[in-house]
Copies of this chain bind each other. A is one copy, B any other.
Amino acid sequence: MAARRTLRIGLIPGDGIGKEVIPAGRRILEALPASLGLKFEFIDLKAGWETFQQTGVALPEETVSVLKSDCDGALFGAVSSPTSAVKGYSSPIVALRKKLDLYANVRPVKTVVSAPKPIDMVIVRENTEDLYVKEEKTFDTPNGKVAEAVKRISQRASSRIATMAGEIALRRQKIRAAGSPSIHKGPLVTITHKSNVLSQTDGLFRSTAREALAAPRFKDAGVAVEEQIVDSMVYKLFRQPEAYDVIVAPNLYGDILSDGAAALVGSLGLVPSANVGEGFAIGEPCHGSAPDIQGKGIANPIATLRSAALMLEFLNEEEAAAKIYEAVDANLTEGKLLSPDLGGTATTEEVVQDILKRL
A residues with CB within 8 A of B:
81, 84-85, 90-91, 94, 131-132, 134, 136-138, 141, 143-156, 159, 194-201, 203-204, 207, 230-232, 234-239, 252, 255-256, 258-260, 262-264, 268, 288
Contact = CB atoms under 8 A, between A and B. Distances in A.
The CB with the most chain B CB atoms within 10 A, among A132, A137, A252, is that of A252
Given A232-B259, A235-B262, A260-B260, A204 B138 contact: yes
A156 B136 contact: no
Given A138-B200, A232-B259, A238-B264, 14 more contacts: A85-B195, A85-B203, A131-B151, A134-B199, A136-B200, A146-B152, A146-B154, A146-B155, A148-B201, A231-B255, A231-B259, A232-B288, A235-B259, A235-B263
6 contacts: A91-B197, A131-B194, A144-B159, A149-B198, A149-B200, A238-B264
Nearest to A253: B256
A106 B84 CA distance: 28
B145 A204 contact: yes
Contact of A234 (B141, B199, B259): B259
A329 to B, nearest CB: 22
Contacts of A230: 256
A218 B156 CA distance: 49
Contacts of A234: 234, 256, 259-260, 263
A312 to B, nearest CB: 26
The CB with the most chain B CB atoms within 10 A, among A151, A152, A159, A230, is that of A151
A141 B153 CA distance: 12
Nearest to A229: B81
Top 4 nearest A-B pairs (CB, nearest first) are: A144-B155, A136-B200, A238-B263, A231-B259
B151 A146 contact: no
B144 A156 contact: yes
B238 A256 contact: no
Contacts of A262: 235
A198 B134 contact: yes
Contacts of A147: 152-154, 200-201, 203-204
A133 to B, nearest CB: 9
Nearest to A267: B239
B149 A196 contact: no
B81 A134 contact: no
A231 B204 contact: no
A92 B196 CA distance: 11
B252 A238 contact: no
B149 A151 contact: yes
Contact of A256 (B84, B144, B201, B256): B256
A126 to B, nearest CB: 13
A262 B231 CA distance: 10
Contacts of A151: 131, 148-151
A136 B203 CA distance: 11
